[in-house]
A and B are shown apart, each in its own frame.
Chain A
Amino acid sequence: GAVVSQHPSWVICKSGTSVKIECRSLDFQATTMFWYRQFPKQSLMLMATSNEGSKATYEQGVEKDKFLINHASLTLSTLTVTSAHPEDSSFYICSARPGSLQHQPQHFGDGTRLSIL
């Protein structure tokens, strides 16, 4: 149980392109989903917290106009990297927390490796 699917697994695109990443909770409903970014040889860094039906909360230093997050249903959140540039190349990972009990652990997708040429 508690499976989170992320798509695509990897994407290569030209500078200036917008890229959408999907995060789905397959066997549970997730009121809250999270988006992280991980650069090579570094740890995960939280980008934003996504709540179903409301605006996402972004961490300091993360441009909300560049990283658009939509959480339209209890099983789907999307991250769109708008006008991507080479410095946006990274490993993007989503997570979701099942249930209403707030100590429930987050479950993570397998990540999306984004390469901007």
Chain B
Amino acid sequence: DAKTTQPTSMDCAEGRAANLPCNHSTISGNEYVYWYRQIHSQGPQYIIHGLKNNETNEMASLIITEDRKSSTLILPHATLRDTAVYYCIVNNYGQNFVFGPGTRLSVLP
């Protein structure tokens, strides 16, 4: 499975958009990009996933570059409850996810 690189931490003002980047330069053609978040002492929560097209759901938008070597998760209007560790995972066939350290997002009032 391809490895991902994410910033260790980010801050975002409440009400503003949070843009979380992820580099996956070794991604292969049939690997999907998945985003999860983990709030302290809970299991990871699924946010969104995509292959090559941009995706949007009620939680977030996923922007994947044309060469698929990087992606950005966008939380359009961050709230304090969005404070969490965000994980970007690339994976083939949804089998064994490999969790990196993720990005610790702090939404500030």
Contact = CB atoms under 8 A, between A and B. Distances in A.
Interface of A: 2, 4, 6, 32, 34, 36, 43-46, 49, 91, 93, 95, 97, 102-111, 113
Contacts of A34: 96-97
Given A49-B95, A93-B43, A106-B46, 12 more contacts: A34-B97, A43-B100, A43-B101, A103-B49, A105-B34, A105-B49, A105-B94, A108-B43, A108-B44, A111-B41, A111-B42, A111-B43
Interface of B: 32, 34, 36, 41-46, 49, 51, 87, 93-102
A85 B46 CA distance: 32
Contacts of A110: 42-43
Nearest to A6: B43
Contacts of A97: 94
Nearest to A97: B94
Contacts of B99: 36, 43-45
B75 to A, nearest CB: 18
A104 to B, nearest CB: 6
A95 B34 CA distance: 14
